[in-house]
Each structure stands twice: as structure tokens, then as C-alpha cells.
Amino acid sequence: MSGKRGNGEGSIYPYRNGFAAYVWVTTPDGKRKRKYVYGKTRTVVHEKWLKAHADAKKDPVPTRHRTVAAFLDYWLASVVKPNLAPLTYVAYEGAARLYIAPHLGSKRLDKLTVRDVREWLTKLADTCQCCAQRKDAKRRPERQRCCAKGECCGQYPRGRVVQIARDTLRAALSQAVVEEETPRNVAKLVRVPKPRRRKVKAWSVSEASRFLEHAVASDDSLYAAWVLALTLGLRRGEILGLTWDSVDFDTGELYIDHQLQRAGREVLHRETKTEDSEDFLPLPGLCLAALKQRRQQQEADRETAGDLWQDTNGLIFTTRYGTPIEPGNLTRAFAVRIRQADIRAIPLRNTRHTTGKLLVALKVHPKVAQRILRHSKFTMTFDVYSEASDEEIRDALQRLSHGFRVEP
């Protein structure tokens, strides 16, 4: 090629060991800036220059490529926090800060590859998080017991943690693709093993009854909470978010529209999980009696606390000083009550599944069960109803074994 510049090549010039060029573009924030392209030869740069010109005529063009860490900060602050639930923000922020930024944060967003993501996930699964996060080093010297002393405790992340980290990066890169800061979402192309969840057998009517009977005999202040969990299938946050304004003792109805959640350092009293979760439910006699008993217990607590009582928006379930009950404390109280009642242990979240199984045993119509459980989709209710009971399985296996006609 001759040294004479071609038409439109006025902005191409020698640069280091090759050539460079620039195009005036409009950035996403509405400013006019130069967009530079580089290459070994004038021909390569000219082709990039033409492409940059074409891109500049279509949409706003970023002039600088952010690192993964810089984009994560922007995404969390400008996309996740204003638009998604507080708990979602807490989960994404924690995954970004603890697992993504330390490994991939310095990489340029548009240069991130599938191999980078795969190697990161492999390394993450084999990295002791006590060492990586310096957990032991942050303890007082007399309490240090492992990593700070050079004795790795092997606190490797579970499969679910690795999956959450990958899902967080995938969600962030999806936004980066929308904003045209990267051409593709490489995290979507990397698979991680799906962690297997241990199945927990729901309580039978007998077990649920024994649990409630023990709570009554112990004068448990949370008896009404256990009744609502097992009878109506209320979630933990929904139980703690109930106020006395939610209960109509005259009509015998309960309005479920709020939940109590811990999000980071805050305890939030906010709307329910989904629009379908917000609903009126009729209260059976057992629930009404339990709530009346709870009201009497709370009045007694108020009188005992005196000036120390704190009124928190009329919450039904409070501490003896009127403050909200920590969601984690409710879970622990449930586990303690199970041990004291000497009943097979199940997680508090499994009481909702217990309600569904009991409705199946009582032959309640699936559409009625969907309304009680407030499932957003009928398929969720049908999954509960499609599970065969132990009695049905036992009967089927008995008939199968009789069909073999084998003499012992």
C-alpha cells in the first residue's frame, strides 16, 4: 500500500508498532467522545475504523471497556438494588464480593471468555473460603484456630454456593449484553453440576397433632405460629409479618399481605413474595382460638414489660418486649420445640409441604389446595398431589410381590 492516505483515512495514524484511528461517537451517557481502534497494519485499522463508524450511526457506543469488578458495582447499584427484592440484592452482592470479584474482577468485561469462567468455577470449588476470606485472621489471636496458623480447615464451598456464584455472574453478564458492553454471555455456556437436595418426608397428621399438643401443654407463646404454619401453610416470613389488622375475628378471615425478612443488617416488613401470595383466607376454629390466645399472651407481655415495651406496627408475633422476632430465631425455636416433643425433625420450611400432603390425604380438591397454599401456578400444587402416599406405595408393592408367586 502506498503512503498516501485513502478517502476518509484522515484519522488513521502510526501508533507504536502499528496504527491507530478514532471515530467520534455518542456515549451511553449522551456525551461526544473519541472511540479508538488499533491494529498492526493500516488495512486492519481501516476495517475497524469503518465498523466503528457504522456502529456509531446505530446506537450509543461506550469508549472505555469496564472491568468485571467495575461493571458488577454498577449493576448492583443501578440495576439490582432499585428493581429487585432486598434479599435478591443481598445474595447477589455477597456472591459478587466474595466469589466473583477476587478471581475475575480485574479482567476486562468484553474480553472475558468461557475458559476464564470455567477455570474460575473449578478453582472456586477447590478453594478454602476460610483462607480466601481470611475468616480466621479476623478473629482475635487467642481465638484463631486454623488458617491463620497455617492449618487449613478445608472450608470448601458447597455445590449450591458454586451454582449461586455462577448464576450471579450470568445475571450480570445478561445485563452487560443488553447494554452492549460485551457481545455474549459466556457464563451461560458453562455448566455446573446441579446440587442434589435431600428429600425430607413431611409429617403425618399424627405427628403434626403431637407437635401442636406439646406446644399447648408447654404454653408456648409461638403456638399460634405453629398452627398457622401447619394449617394454612404460611411461610416463615408471612407468619412474622402478620399484624392484628390482618385478622378479622368477626368474619373469621386472615389477610396475608406482608412478610418479615432479614436483608443484611436490616429487618424489613415488606410486601409478600408474589402477588398471588397476597390473599384473604378463612380461619378455621383452631386458628381463631390460637390467635385469641396469642392476643392474651401479648397483652400480658405488654403489662409485664411496662415502659420497655416497643410497639412495632401491631405485629402479632413479637418478643416479650414487643420487638420483631428474628426469622432465624423462629427457625431455632421450631427445632427446639421438636426436640422437646420428641418428634421426627423436619425443617420449618417443610411445614408448608406438610400442609399440602395433609390436604392430599383429606382428598381436598387441587384447586382448593392451590388457593390455600397460594401457589402462583397450578403445576406447583399438582406436583404435591402427584406424589404417591406411603400407603399407596406399600399397597402397590404388596400386590406386585404377590404377583411373583414365589414360594419361600
Q: For the residues of 162-182, what is the DSSP string, one character each?
A: HHHHHHHHHHHHHHHHHTTSS
Residue 375 CB: number of other CB atoms within 10 A?
Answer: 21
Q: Are residues 209 and 344 in the same domain?
A: yes
Q: What is the pLDDT of residues 239-298, one digit of tens each?
A: 999 999 999 999 999 888 888 888 777 787 777 776 667 778 888 899 999 999 999 999
Residue 112 CB: number of other CB atoms within 10 A?
Answer: 23
Confidence of residue 2 (pLDDT cuts 50, 70, 90): very low
Q: Are residues 51 and 91 in the same domain?
A: no
* pLDDT for residue 356: 82
Q: Which amino acid is at 132?
A: A
Q: Are residues 276 and 294 in the same domain?
A: yes
Separation between Cα atoms, residue 272 and residue 110, nearest integer Å: 38
Give, in degrees to the nearest 5, the angle at Cα 222 between 217 and 228.
Answer: 105
Q: What are 270's strand-pairing partners?
A: 259
Q: How many domains does the chain have?
A: 3
Question: What sign results for the dihedral spanned by CA atoms 133, 138, 144, 150?
Answer: positive
Domain boundary (156, 189, 222) is at 189
Q: What is the CA radius of gyration of the chain?
A: 30
Range of the domain at 224: 205-353
Separation between Cα atoms, residue 315 and residue 273, nearest integer Å: 18
DSSP string, 287-330: HHHHHHHHHHHHHHHHHHHGGG----TTBSSB-TTSPBPPHHHH
Q: Are residues 247 and 219 in the same domain?
A: yes
Q: What is the pLDDT of residues 319-375, one digit of tens each?
A: 999 999 999 999 999 999 999 999 999 999 888 888 887 787 777 777 777 777 777
Residue 7 has pLDDT above 80, yes or no: no
* pLDDT for residue 350: 86
Q: Are residues 96 and 227 in the same domain?
A: no
* pLDDT for residue 167: 96
